[in-house]
Amino acid sequence: MNLTCANYSLLNIGVDYFKELQQSQKPSNSSVCTGAAGLNSQKEMMHVEEFSKAAFGSSIFIIIVSPMTIVANSLLLVTFLVDPLKIFRNPTSYFLIGLAIVDLLTALIQEPIYATCFMLMYFQHPSWTKCESWMKFAAYFSAFPISISVSIVFAFTLTQYIVVASPLKYGRMITKKKAFIGVVALYLYHTLICCLPLMGVPQKTMDAIGLFFYNYAVVLVTIVVYIILHYTMKKKMTAGRSLQNEGSSTSREEGRHVQMQRSFVRLNVVLLIIMIMSFLPSIILMTIRFFLDDIFTARYGIRVLVVNLMTDNLLYLKFLLDPIAYAWRMSKYRKSLKSTVYRNKDKGSSRSENETKITDARCQIGELASAELNRSAITLLSFKNVSTD
């Protein structure tokens, strides 16, 4: 679960302060009271200004990352729908598409809301006070993509482990129908969980579910499975080398097999780094805030919320890196995208070619018809000449 609800709480502080700032510009008779209140307002102003600078930097980061996330995931979905090379017919493709959909929803809904509100907050625009309802919606929505993304990555990692550990069982255990039903079930389950606050479930309970189930149980277990998968694949590689040395395989086949295994290991390391980099800072911060919220916030105050912004940015970066790491890094997906683009061009060129062929055929028919007319005219003239002779 994301900690963006903390950004919403600080935005409320900023909105209240902005209202007080507007009221303080009006003339007042009680100079002593305003002087005493001015000290507190100056502190609040410094805190809000400090956060607004960090929020402005976060909005710039979101403005850069969000369009790239939209393009990367949209191209993946288009390639899946067209699928010219028929590479999306395996069960793991449904996990990939489910991940792309939730990443795209985050880049289309959540990220623009935060970027816009943070910009308005930094420039102290009057429309800033209207961001409260939008930030509240984004805070509720933020739990949805994070939890689904974590669950799908866990299911995908578990599938990879089954492929490596026992490939003979993979065909029976993991099918396209089971993978599709699993992804749909994850979406429905997390939709129900995210609707619990609307049913009256306390926010403290939701924070506990997010911390202990998604962060500890799912994220940490996924990281552990990645580590186990890494060492299992290394054992398979050493066993494969020994079998190849005993067998009569050619050096070309051996080199290709080793290259594929090394590529898989590198991909596994990259995915593990993305998981640790994206979720571990959020887990640490959420654990501290869950158990020591009052003490920690009172001591460090605004710095906690600034760190919260940084952890959110790491999660936004993960949504961008997902399609690159899982799909576009591999050549077969890039070839499928090129085939999709060239297929549309070929359709246009084939239409133009057909049109030119039709016009050429019509011209040829016209030429043949004129030739026949000329031939008949010549024949008639020759008959006339013969008759006159």
pLDDT in tens, 3-50: 444 444 445 544 444 444 444 444 444 433 334 344 455 655 666 777
Residue 343 is encoded by which pair of tokens? Answer: 């297929």
Q: How far is CA 258 from the centre of its chain?
A: 31
Residue 18 is encoded by which pair of tokens? Answer: 């902005």
Helices (H) and strands (E) in the chain, counts: 13, 0
Residue 139 is encoded by which pair of tokens? Answer: 């805070």
**What span, in angstroms and rounded, lies between the C-alpha atoms of 146 and 98?**
13
**What span, in angstroms and rounded, lies between the C-alpha atoms of 36 and 74?**
55
Confirm if 225 and 161 have CB atoms less than 8 A apart.
yes
Tell which residue, 250, 302, 310, has the closest CA to residue 277.
Answer: 310
Locate tokens 């809000």: which residue? 48
pLDDT of 106-132, one tens digit each? Answer: 999 999 999 998 898 888 888 877 888
State residue 386's pLDDT score.
32
Q: What is the mean pLDDT of residues 279-289?
A: 84
State residue 357's pLDDT score.
47
State residue 105's pLDDT score.
93
Say which residue, 46 or 142, is predicted with more confidence. 142
In this predicted structure, the answer to whether residue 388 has a pLDDT above a threshold of 60 is no
pLDDT of 222-244, one tens digit each? Answer: 888 888 888 888 787 777 666 66
Least confident of 180-184, 260-264, 275-279: 260-264
Domain regions of the chain by residue span:
7-14+44-239+258-336
Residue 182 is encoded by which pair of tokens? Answer: 């699993």
In this predicted structure, the answer to whether residue 272 has a pLDDT above a threshold of 90 is no
pLDDT band for position 336 (cuts 50, 70, 90): confident
Say which residue, 249 or 226, is predicted with more confidence. 226
Q: What is the mean pLDDT of residues 62-79?
A: 94
- Tell me whether residue 325 is exposed, middle or buried, using C-beta atoms within 10 angstroms of its C-beta: 0 to 12, 13 to 18, 19 or more: middle
**What span, in angstroms and rounded, lies between the C-alpha atoms of 245 and 161?**
26
- Tell me whether residue 30 is exposed, middle or buried, using C-beta atoms within 10 angstroms of its C-beta: 0 to 12, 13 to 18, 19 or more: exposed
To the nearest 10°, report the CA torsion of 195, 196, 198, 201: -170
Q: What is the mean pLDDT of residues 204-219?
A: 80
* Residues 6+ away with beta carbon under 8 Å from 84: 336, 339, 340, 343
Provide the terminal-to-terminal Cα distance of the chain, rounded to the nearest Å: 107
Q: For 84-110, give the DSSP string.
A: TT----STHHHHHHHHHHHHHHIIIII
Average pLDDT of the residues of the chain? 74
Least confident of 20-24, 56-60, 132-136: 20-24
Tell which residue, 142, 100, 153, has the closest CA to residue 276.
Answer: 153
Q: What is the mean pLDDT of residues 90-105?
A: 91
Residue 154 is encoded by which pair of tokens? Answer: 């866990």
On the CB side of 305, CA atoms within 13 Å amount to 23
Q: Which fold has domain 7-14+44-239+258-336?
A: Rhopdopsin 7-helix transmembrane proteins (1.20.1070)
C-alpha to C-alpha distances, 156 to 148, 237, 378, nearest whole angstrom: 12, 21, 81
- Give the DSSP H or E segment for 202: none
Residue 128 is encoded by which pair of tokens? Answer: 């800033």
**What span, in angstroms and rounded, lies between the C-alpha atoms of 246 and 244?**
5
pLDDT band for position 364 (cuts 50, 70, 90): very low
The length of the chain in residues reads: 389
pTM of the predicted model over 0.95: no
In this predicted structure, the answer to whether residue 255 has a pLDDT above a threshold of 90 is no
Locate tokens 């099918």: which residue? 175
Confirm if 65 and 278 have CB atoms less than 8 A apart.
no
In this predicted structure, the answer to whether residue 168 has a pLDDT above a threshold of 90 is no
**What span, in angstroms and rounded, lies between the C-alpha atoms of 78 and 333?**
12
**What span, in angstroms and rounded, lies between the C-alpha atoms of 296 and 281?**
16
